[in-house]
Structure 1
Amino acid sequence: MASPHRLPRRAGRLTVALLALCLAAPLAAQPSERAARERLDAIGEEIQGVTRRLSSTRDAQADASRELRRVETALGETHRRLDELQAERSELAEEVVTLERRRDLLEAERADQVEALNVQLDALYRLGTSPQLKLLLNQDDPARLDRLQHYLNQLSRARNARLDELARLDSALGDNRRELDRRGERLDALAAELASRSSDLARQMQERSALVAELDGRYASEQARLVDLEQDRAHAERVLRQVQEELARLQRPPPSTAIAQTRGDLPWPVQGSIASRFRAGDGVHRNGILIQAGEGTPVKAVHAGRVVFADWMRGFGNLLIIDHGDQVMTLHAHLQHFSVQPGQAVSRGEVLGAVGASGGHSRPALYFEVRRDGNPIDPQGWIAAR
């Protein structure tokens, strides 16, 4: 399979452009909470504007990797939607179980009320027909008459209360059954959409495999591939320097998240084996570490911050960048899909996306990079030893 780095060079400009975001902007004095929130909201919009300007250049549009971008972007969206559907189906299934339990309780309570009503009616039956008339005719014992009348009044009130309770239970059961029907219809619709999305996924994966094989055939030798990978990396660094000036104009760096204080104790973004270490990888992998993990494994934020970029880029595939303030950012590449959006604040441990093989890779893995002051640094110096 072809590595993404041999693909034509389009996204490198975009990618590293955004990497410069936090690197170039100067730190501001600590603002008020409201001002900080407004500034954080604005940075996502401004970064998206930069992204759109970079993406709309003629060279980017003419890049031969646009087909891979199109297919892998569609794949990411399909995976994301499948995850949403599965989650909704699981939630609905739990709600159906809860509704069925409530239905059973209501039916049992209704049966109890019917049984109690039968007992009361049986008591009235033993008094015979027209008990009030008999009491009026039998006036030999006024005290007994009062007791029996009181007893009849209690029976009547209890009977009416039981009847009211039965009516309430019947209404609740009706609502419950209608809700169960609605949940059932929604589950059927979800099952149909899941089947359709699964079919789309299979077709898109076949299309991607054919495209990657075609791109792979462009290299006459391994040496030619390595040369192209190095050119991709050098180009990415040039683009990073070029866009720093424009990104610096944003003047909206997020406030500090005190990430420097957690250096050496950050969690791993995903558990897996290290396929390449800092400065040991090829092409765009040289400035970080490549962690092999199962496709679809959740990728989590190592620290609080704000998403400043989430898009497909040549070499990186689905790339997500988080600005943590203090001129520190983390980069996550080859994602299967995104679970967060640009401009969104994230907390430590929040799911950002899933491990994938986007960017033309043959095996699922997460590329993870840390940059400080615009310079790549060894991520293993920041994340906890294991």
Structure 2
Amino acid sequence: MLLLLLLVWAGSSRADEYAAKQRELAEIKEAQSRAQALLADLAKTESAIMAELRELDQELARAKQELARVEQARQRTSASLAEIEKEVKTATQRYEESQAKLAEIMVGYNRRLRQLYMSSGTDLLDLLLVPGAVDDWVMRLRLFSALLEQDVELYQRVSAQKAATEAERARLNRERTRLQQERTRLTQLERQAQQQVDQVAKRRAERDQKLQEILKEKSGQEQAIKELAANSQRIQAWLEANKPPPPPTPKPTPGTAEPRVKFARPVAAPITANFGWRLDPLDNVNRFHEGVDFGAPEGTPIKAAGEGRVVLAGWVGGYGYTIIIEHANGYSTLYAHASRLLAEVGQWVNTGQIIAEVGNSGVSTAPHLHFEVRRGGQPVNPLEYLSE
């Protein structure tokens, strides 16, 4: 009796451990799905930021090009202004020289005019008494007159030069004012262009920093996915090595027919795919469909088709979240692509008991229940075993 209890306890402990491992595997699969989804989101964000960076690079290049253009224009204007300043200085010097020359001419002119005036006051009687004095006096008058005419001519010429110089200086001053205003305008534009370059460069630096954060987080997720995959393989190997043996198939008594097993419909929904050969909707390849599919909304209750013990409850590759129930006479039923499992390995379930909910897990195109009936481990047509 003690030995029997120990064996029962050991079997129960092994079943509990197996169920715990299946739950752990299911949790890892969920974590893998979440990590893959997050990795996909990170990849989308990375692509979006890369596109933003390309646009910002183009915008920054345009801003720098505009800054260089304005800077060159300002430098050209400054150079032209410097040349104008020189010309204004030269014109001012010429103007001042003309003024000084005119003043000098006027001094000479006034001096000669006084001399002429004083000469004109000479007594004619005295001139007549002195031999040759009249001729002398006339010659001096002519000389003074010629000098005065030269002074007038020179004054007019220098005055014209002064007027021309003044006009040139006025023109140069107007050009200088225009260039000063243009330089002020270009300096303001240059400052604005530099601000634009700085703003775009700042935005690019911020997006680049965000990209580095995304890449770091992406690397962490990739490492986490590798670790989850390694843990998943380890647990799957353990489950395979410690898979409980199926119950023995009872043999019918000679001379008696094997009883016909009937199962209840696992879900109240129409059949969308039958048992047998068909074109796989995923890749359009002809494959053998080992069960039937019930098209039901996600979350629809899945019921046990017959009483028996749950021998598998967890993630099974392309089947997604799956439950397998062992029944009498070597039969078993499989329920795949569930969204939630409500039964555990080792649990005894009754016909019609809710064991899971319809989902879209694993390799699936839409929410549905994939239902299989197996006899001696071999798939058979479920429709031949389902009650009406």
Q: TM-score, normalised by structure 1?
A: 0.39
Q: TM-score, normalised by structure 2?
A: 0.39
Higher helix share: 2
Comparing both chains, which one has the higher relative contact order based on Cα–Cα distances under 8 Å and sequence gaps of 6 or more? 1
